[in-house]
Amino acid sequence: MLDILLFREERGNDPERIRESQRRRFASVELVDEVIKLDKEWRQRQYEVDNIRKEVNKVQDGIKKKKMAKEDTAELLVEKSKLEEAKIAKEKETAECKVAMEASLRLVGNLVHDSVPIDNNEDNNLVVRTWGTPRDQSGLVNHVDLVNKLGIVDLEAGTDVAGGRGYFLKQYGVMLNQALINFGLAFLLKRGYTLLQTPFFMRQEVMAECAQLAQFDEELYKVTGEGDDKYLIATAEQPLCSFHRGSWMDPKALPIKYAGYSTCFRKEAGSHGRDTLGIFRVHQFEKVEQFCITSPNDNDSWEVHEEMLKNSEEFYQQLGLPYRVVSIVSGALNDSAAKKYDLEAWFPASKTYRELVSCSNCTDYQSRNLEIRYGQKKMNDQVKNYCHLLNSTLTATERTLCCILENYQTPDGVRVPEVLQPFMLNTEFLPFTEQSKDKKDAKKDAKAKNPPAKGSAVGAQEKKVSSDNGVGTPDIHQLKL
């Protein structure tokens, strides 16, 4: 959330700056005035509580003096009792007012950076740059069909076991997915990142410190069991945010760079009908995430923001996937982001760009909730300084896998990107192993009408296929390793 001091004109700040940011977001400007109103009410009630406390202390001093003088204190005791009751009632009012103020404050988005394009339609995201030559070829197969032709995903069994958008990765699907994970982690390790494998769930109170309210309804799965309720993480960013909650960060240690790896879980409640086929948009997926903590000073976080984007670009360049970088329009920014880039890779069968990376600078918006402070703890600090937090996808592996399949397909299968081969036992090529349903049915009918002679070449060929490893991909020992 924003610093409440930004809403106070008497502290030399200009609330109009916040109103303008809300206008850029195409969000409620009235919310800013609501926060200002509730903040004034809260401070007035707090002032009244402080005055009652002073009165209580004054009466208490009078009682002490009368006791020392061995005088009657009954009248003062009655007065003190009434003041105590008034104080309790006023403290309750004050606490309720503060809760209301902070609830409204959390609904105000981060201050939009001046470089963000102002628009409310994501179709108007600003293209910053492109890389690579998009493959433009007719007759290409989309990723939904490719996973079936390769036999590396079982969607039918996945849906039966896990429900909608469930899936099993199989054989080289598993290896390709793990190769992306391991390549991503090695890629960031070489760039000075500290590797972290995060918890898959978080306590409710901790999740509330780093997730937007809308996420609880549209995105997060709740896990109920013994003790506190917990939520499955939607991104490694969430536990990474909380890793230093309640901490003071030494300026000499900054920036801190983490490479987070996790399985992620999303309800995708707001995306019905979008990319529901295949494994592009699923409820469970793996992700390697960049997460950085910087000082709030100068241009530090903005320089790191560009560096994180550069890392993601170099990752996809090494994979050989054409892409474009877009700056997200102001109306599509999530509340915590001051600015966000997306990297959208080219899917040649679909003839479109699809998002693979989101890279955001959240400045001190998240760290204020999490109490991640900048500097050394000092007595009687008048101003609280908070670190800046940034996050960027490196790879959501199932999505990246889909993009690789479309870009590296051939008439006979899919080539493995060179940088992934060392993580796949030097496998260079994945041949198609499954025929289309129509061809399968035709073959089955032909076989029923004309069974092959015992010992014939056709029979031997079919016997060899049926004695394969049973998951629709060739025996690993038959591939070039």
Enumerate residues 6+ apart whose C-beta is below 8 A from 177. 169, 286, 397, 398, 401
**Residue 462: both structure tokens together:** 């079919």
| Contacts (Cβ under 8 Å, ≥6 apart) of 18 | 2, 6, 7, 32, 108, 111
282 assigned to a ligand binding site: yes
**Of 296, 287, 284, which Cα lies nearest the Cα of 260?**
287
**Distance, CA of 105 to CA of 89 (rounded, Å):** 24
286 annotated as belonging to a binding site for a ligand: no
Question: 115 in helix, strand or coil?
Answer: coil
Residue 137: what residue type? Q
Angle 266-271-274 from CA coordinates, rounded to 5°:
115
Residue 356 labeled ligand binder: yes
105-108-113 Cα angle (round to 5): 135
| Closest among 426, 407, 419, 429 to 474, alpha carbons compared | 429
Nearest CA-CA partner of 197 in 66, 299, 288, 300 = 288
Is 344 annotated for ligand binding? Answer: no
Establish whether 71 is an annotated binding residue: no
Q: How many residues does the chain have?
A: 481
Dihedral angle sign, alpha carbons of residues 20, 24, 30, 33: negative
Residue 421 annotated in ligand binding: no
Tell whether 96 is in a known binding site.
Answer: no
Q: Residue 219 corresponds to which tokens in the numbers above?
A: 């995105």
Is 24:125 a contact under the CB 8 Å cutoff?
no
Q: Was 7 annotated as part of a binding site?
A: no
Alpha-carbon distance of 232 to 285, in angstroms, equals 12
Which residues, at least 6 apart from 209, have a Cβ–Cβ distance to it below 8 Å? 241, 242, 245, 369, 370
**Number of CB atoms found within 10 A of residue 426's CB:** 11
* C-alpha distance from residue 206 to each of 230, 233, 240, 388 (Å): 9, 11, 11, 18
Query: What is the distance between the alpha carbons of residues 434 and 172, in angstroms, rounded to a whole number?
Result: 14
326 a known binding residue? no
Report how far apart, in Å, the C-alpha atoms of 66 and of each of 70, 75, 84, 146, 230 are: 6, 11, 20, 91, 56
The answer on whether 156 is annotated among ligand-binding residues is no
Strands 323-327 vs 339-347: parallel, antiparallel or unpaired: antiparallel
Q: Is there a contact between 117 and 330 (Cβ–Cβ < 8 Å)? A: yes
Tokens of 124: 């108007």
303 annotated as belonging to a binding site for a ligand: no
> Do the annotations mark residue 201 as ligand-binding?
no
- Owner of token pair 């937007």: 212
60 is in an annotated binding site: no
Q: Is 357 annotated as a binding residue?
A: yes
Burial 457-469 (b: 16+ CB within 10 A, else e): eeeeeeeeeeeee
Annotated binding residues for ATP, written as ranges, equal: 266-268, 282-285, 355-358
Annotated binding residues for L-serine, written as ranges, equal: 235, 266, 289, 391
Annotated binding residues, written as ranges, equal: 235, 266-268, 282-285, 289, 355-358, 391
